[in-house]
Amino acid sequence: MRLTKIDNIMLHEVCKIGQGADCCRYLLHDPDNGFECGNQPSRLRDTIDDRAIAGSMTAVSINCAGI
């Protein structure tokens, strides 16, 4: 699965990195590509949703429709 890289403006204004529960649950980090969006239909997104619902994540918001 190819993910979309997130620029610095979107990272702070939309994804809300570092803002606890307001941070997007789909914000992912790849050491080679930087921050990426995981809000595309996939098993990964389903797993993230399950963890957010179970309360095992701090970042639980859904901040956009995905990129």
Q: What pLDDT digit, counting tens, does each position of 6-60 carry?
A: 999 999 999 999 999 999 999 999 999 899 999 999 999 999 999 999 999 999 9
d(CA 44, CA 14): 21
Ramachandran area for residue 25 (φ above 0: left; ψ -120 to 50: alpha; else beta): alpha
**pLDDT exceeds 80 at position 2:** no
Q: Is residue 61 pLDDT above 80, yes or no?
A: yes
Is the pTM higher than 0.85? The answer reads yes
